[in-house]
Amino acid sequence: MNVASLLLLAFTAIVVENFIFSQFYGICPFLGVSNKPSTAFGMGMAVTCVITLSSFLTWLLYHHILDPLGISYLSTIAFIVVIAALVQLIEMFLKKYVPVLYEALGIYLPLITTNCAVLGSALINIQNGYNLMASVVFGFSSALGFTMAMLIFAGVRERLVFADPPKSFEGLPILLVSAGLVAMAFAGFSGVNIG
């Protein structure tokens, strides 16, 4: 793959097939920690680290161990093990060096393990037959798209605090409605066909 196609892949992953707004992966942290841009950004960075590293490791794991040994049917479990270990690593790192962020992310930090965006990107890499470089680029840019979505929505949520919705829409309902509206905006990219 040349540079141009890698860039196209990155653009597709960030905007056209945004994990949150068009694939609906990783909705849990998206709704859980998007209440402040700073925590949303922290979450985005943590997810970016995990996805990029896991894309790299799971590609190696699949193509050099699982596939040659004929146990590729176990890839989901193996990937989860790798992801869980990475999340644990990130958690220890944050606890020591950025305790404020560690507190702010709370339960959503260990929950990155079960975030389908992370496992999703690892499995998509294999499914689409990307090479190692493309896998890492795809993982990294999907995570950037995830971070961008988190930040955009954190901005929306800051405005939502001042909104005065009908009583039955207060709290989560209005949040889901606004998330749907932002996702509709992203649907505008779906016609962009890069090939």
Partner 1 sequence: MHEIITACLVFVVLGGLLGILLAIAARFFTSEKPEKLEAILSLLPGANCGGCGYSGCAALAQAIATGEAKPNTCPTNSNDKNTAISLLLGCQSAEKTIRYRAQILCSGTHEMAKKKYMYEGIDDCNAAIGLAGGDKLCPNGCIGLGSCARACPFQAIDVVNGIAAVNYEKCRACGMCVDTCPKHIIALIPYDAVFWVGCNSQDKGSVTKSYCQTGCIGCKLCEKKCPAKAITVQGAYASIQYDLCTGCGICAQVCPRKIIWSAHSQKDRGIYSDGHDRLPAQGNSTPNHG
Binding residues for partner 1, rule: CB under 8 A, are: 61, 65-66, 69-71, 74, 77-78, 81-82, 85, 88-89, 92-93, 95-96, 99
Q: Which amino acid is at 111?
A: L
Residues 124/141, Cβ–Cβ less than 8 Å: no
Residue placing its CB nearer to partner 1 in the complex, 73 or 162: 73
Could you give the CA distance from residue 66 to residue 21 in angstroms, rounded to a whole number? 32
Between the alpha carbon of residue 89 and those of residues 13, 49, 61, 75, 130, the distances in Å are 26, 10, 18, 21, 26
Residue placing its CB nearer to partner 1 in the complex, 23 or 72: 72
Report the nearest approach of partner 1 to the CB of residue 127 (Å). 21
Residue placing its CB nearer to partner 1 in the complex, 28 or 85: 85
Residue placing its CB nearer to partner 1 in the complex, 5 or 88: 88
Report the nearest approach of partner 1 to the CB of residue 94 (Å). 9
Report the nearest approach of partner 1 to the CB of residue 183 (Å). 32
Report the nearest approach of partner 1 to the CB of residue 74 (Å). 6
